[in-house]
Structure 1
């Protein structure tokens, strides 16, 4: 069922939770993962001027979903899938659904998701690289990238290659790893026990690394396995891929960018990206941007790369919330 409310998934979830009262909302949040808590919590903190009609519509939509798509003891899987998709958006909901419907109790690994990246790195840094690869594959990509950056540089390419070539984990091995971690940490979520890792996972993690480290790691992977390196690079979403976005997505992205960041990023962009940006601006705005670019003068490459990474981070967050669609070579979705 399509929701009638025009609010985004996290905003709808925030409105619904805030209408429940503190105790009930806290009980719901207890059963959510760190990324979902952060997403909904941010929405709760930023909600302003929500009308009574919006609140009523969100609650009506929820009640209608309950009435039409579930019954006690019947269709519970479809109910969970539809409600979570409605509340969190499809991209975020898919991972949660997998953990709930396909997973098993796995407290140790899940507890790492709530930890600071540096702390996670300290926990796993002395483990075998294959163990580290499995752990990073279970973390959200931006979290995994931060953890990887705190691990010794000499081991980073090897770990990324192991992530890229990882093809599932035997339940017995996963259980043993989980039990080892559980001796140190506690948690209460479920996690999927297969289909972790892979080239796309490695590419997504690398996307979140700093540009200097990203290039260094990929170069070292290329020295060992040129074919694997190319597969990872093909699945990465880089600044040049912004030219592949549709007009509506580019326009939505531009509304979220500061002029300073855009000017700095475009100083190092190819003409295809620049043309797509200018095409989606008004004539006056385009002229002003062109003047800013010409007035900027020479800039350091590190500053350009930092600005491009910032814009890519904003683009990924918008893609996660369903505001834009990111595409890569071959038109395969990459978020």
Structure 2
């Protein structure tokens, strides 16, 4: 009798845990992180955010501002899930630099993790070149507009690809071509040159950063930046690059990841991606998608959701091409972020991506 009650109680507890886990799936990973930060209080949340990069802070800030109707059970579930994850991955006394670095490298990739570790473990501040990542793209463009092209090249290769793409769009067509070719040909920057560039930024921004050498530029970096350019700008720039160096332009194109390349993402990756993309954005993005890609997306949705999406697409009137392109870019931005975090694997027409 006692054993029966114990088993029944354990079963109830297991069912309750499973129910809570299912309820949390209505929140994206970013929203769960936002809920966790909101539950920590202002001071503790600020301590966490100050160790993140500008893109992470922007994304979490938007999520924190947008999450609504969060019940106490949801908060408890998010916090409980986080604590459970911590217990599984670490233990008392295991908080060493090596452990933190390895964990972050696994989650973010070597380059991003090492940069984050430098700030967390060494207490490095965000100054010099890093300061540019927090600035408006227009302000950065104005700041480097009259600098030597080599300095402009290093800055664009150093910044995140989406920000570099925004800055590149603000330059004349001829300058865009020159800088893109320079970025593709750049492989690394010597410590002295990087230190000198930091000094130049310090004079204008009153800061300084680490002077260690860095691998910047190359065809992969150029492809990443090209991915974020508007369709018309991207096509025109690619044609111009082919006129200058067809072989180099082809290597860049082979490394680019476009919306149609989602066909190469496995089903599990598509399902993970769909959980992070809003229905409205997906609907607009699929408006201009190939039929085979549409079917791949539908296949990885519930039957009811796929039927509703098909009906909405059929009833949708004409939309601007720019709106479709922007929606597809938004989906790709989420896909690249998830790939950087190791949550999905992207594959372009050439080498493995990200």
Both structures adopt the same fold (TM-score exceeding 0.5): yes
Equivalent of 1:157 in 177, 182, 203: 177
Describe the superposition over 1:51-108 as per-residue Cα deviations: whole angstroms up to 9, x where unpaired. 44643564576587363534xxxxx4313314545xxx71277414146459998832
Equivalent of 2:326 in 301, 306, 312: 306
Which SS does the other structure have where 1:167 is aligned? coil
Change (3 A) 1:283 1:93: same
Equivalent of 2:246 in 226, 231, 234: 226
Describe the superposition over 1:287-332 as per-residue Cα deviations: whole angstroms up to 9, x where unpaired. 5544544444665544443333233234334444555432223561
Describe the superposition over 1:178-223 as per-residue Cα deviations: whole angstroms up to 9, x where unpaired. 1011011145764752111111111111111111111111111111
Q: Which runs of 5+ in 2 are unaligned?
A: 1-20
- Please identify, of 102-111 and 199-208, the stretch whose mean Cα deviation from structure 2 is larger: 102-111
Query: Aligned residue for 1:327?
Result: 347
CA distance in 2, matches of 1:288, 1:176: 57
CA positional deviation for 1:151: 2.0
Query: TM-score scaled by structure 2?
Result: 0.75
Which SS does the other structure have where 1:127 is aligned? coil
Pair 1:180 & 2:200 matched:
yes
Q: Tell me the number of residue pairs that the alignment of Structure 1 and Structure 2 aligns.
A: 322
Equivalent of 1:129 in 144, 149, 155: 149
Equivalent of 2:263 in 239, 243, 246: 243
- Please identify, of 23-32 and 209-218, the stretch whose mean Cα deviation from structure 2 is larger: 23-32
Contact 2:186 2:216 in 1 (8 A): yes
Contact 1:204 1:236 in 2 (8 A): yes
Query: Aligned residue for 1:90?
Result: 107
Q: Which runs of 5+ in 1 are unaligned?
A: 1-5, 71-75
- Please identify, of 244-253 and 37-46, the stretch whose mean Cα deviation from structure 2 is larger: 37-46
Equivalent of 1:55 in 69, 74, 79: 79
Which SS does the other structure have where 2:90 is aligned? helix
Matches within 5 A, 1:238-317: 238-257=258-277, 261-283=281-303, 285-296=305-316, 301-317=321-337
CA distance in 2, matches of 1:164, 1:282: 43
- Please identify, of 313-322 and 221-230, the stretch whose mean Cα deviation from structure 2 is larger: 313-322
Which SS does the other structure have where 1:197 is aligned? coil
Query: TM-score scaled by structure 1?
Result: 0.78
CA distance in 1, matches of 2:110, 2:58: 14
Contact 1:110 1:187 in 2 (8 A): no
- Name which one, 1 or 2, has greater alpha-carbon Rg: 2
Contact 2:226 2:234 in 1 (8 A): yes
